[in-house]
Homo-oligomer: A and B are copies of this chain.
């Protein structure tokens, strides 16, 4: 259980980095090369680590002030996990929130990550 907490903490740190290279270094550690990623805002599924990092680079360019936070301790069993997240503004105000569900392999790398946004909160 602590292993997956660290992986998810590193993933969140990779989101929050303003440095693309640092993000790629962290993502190389925690994401499988062919990790599948999708959330409700994306038109198409992302199928590799490089595209995943480019997607976050673009997000950070558009919303440089937002910070991704864990809103719940990660919960996991059988290689599956979930955690709640929040995007917050510098003043602490909530921008958006939701949950991620995913899968992790035996090398402790995330192989799938599916994001849902909580609409009515």
Q: Give the B-binding residues of A (Cβ under 8 A).
A: 38-40, 42, 45, 75, 77-78, 80, 82, 99, 101, 114, 116, 119
- Say whether B82 contacts A101, CB under 8 Å: yes
Q: Is the interface of A mostly helix, strand, loop or mixed?
A: strand
In-complex Cβ contact of A116 among B38, B39, B75, B114 (8 A): B75
What residue in chain B is nearest A114 (Cβ atoms)?
A: B80
The 10 closest A-B pairs by CB, nearest first: A40-B77, A101-B101, A80-B114, A38-B78, A82-B116, A75-B116, A45-B78, A82-B101, A38-B80, A82-B99
Chain B residues with Cβ below 8 Å from A42 are 78
Chain B residues with Cβ below 8 Å from A39 are 77
